[in-house]
Structure 1
């Protein structure tokens, strides 16, 4: 038996499964039409279900703080993104809706926040970025607001979090660390990287997976440390400095194999 806790609008309801105690949001055309708070249902109408993670505060408290149109928008973005990305964790619904609501408020007040990691997000999470770009069109149709490319980047992080089963803060930290690495490489090599080039994209991808390996306590399969140190001393020195700084910031050990592997990627990209 399900009990309606809130009718969001004609296209959404928040319900409680009396048996499991699980709170769910149901989205779909007309699912909320004609229903009222407290109404009990033996079976839910056809629609997209989003099971909400249990927290100290009830889902009703969180949902009440967000205008229904933004919850509906987030649901549509997730549904469309899943057609390309596959299944996403549905617990990103409320955080994404909350972010969209705040972004919409900033747009109306002409106080948009720039995204310093946009280029890295676009390169790191290419498929999620494309899905987020399509999602902005959904937002425009529902809110009549123009969301900037910076916001596409932030929505990308939410989609990636749902795909990688991590929170948005972790996705943002990955983008920040990649950006930090690229800046350090440019500084030590005294040469600017060409964004969107094949070599740049490969380097970004390598750094992303290097960070993932280190977080898991793994190391690169290939040990090219000696080869890189003797063949490309300048690139090796740059890679060693980068890994040393990352080790300090992340408080995780970077195996020597990673230094050699990174040095070779720096050599390929810089072409020195």
Structure 2
């Protein structure tokens, strides 16, 4: 019988790990990816896709037991602290191993002009003193924090068009999913005369191009710091090594 693994996804790294796991373990793996996001924004993933919540830590623990999940991989966004905490609690309750995937932070390079904030609210307070034309890349859930910002025009990038108009000052919405190229990001920022980039300090290669583009253009970056980590994070190779003992027939 295939070994069932639950992958908590919603990131490019999750999609990459899903593809890698299926290649490595083949039919011995029954991979279920829980996608944290809108259905129309989900990429084409191997295995089975599950959309929607579990009902908190207790609901997830019940799901793990009922579905006989052998391991959980947390490959959610670094800012999805609540989901990660619920996964940790559920796995402890159900006695299921939890493997948390690392997303490396962006390295600061010569020419980077970073202003760091501890929260979206702090970033919104700082923004009017830093620029007048902002490229806002904080996700749909982060946009409301900037609703009361005055005297700033926004270029807002989202994964999908919102269901209703954004509660935000003057703005234009662009739709896109990484990875992006630095050249495309430079062109986008130049066309819209961007003078400040606003981003969560998400890290990872798929969205690093905007940081490089801002550096090339001499544009400052207002970065929202990551929440404190509550679990040891593993590289993709380490996650695969931890999974391998579950599949003895694939060894060697």
> TM-score w.r.t. structure 1 length?
0.25
Comparing both chains, which one has the higher relative contact order based on Cα–Cα distances under 8 Å and sequence gaps of 6 or more?
A: 2
| Larger strand fraction of residues | 2
| Larger helix fraction of residues | 1
Pair member with larger Rg: 1
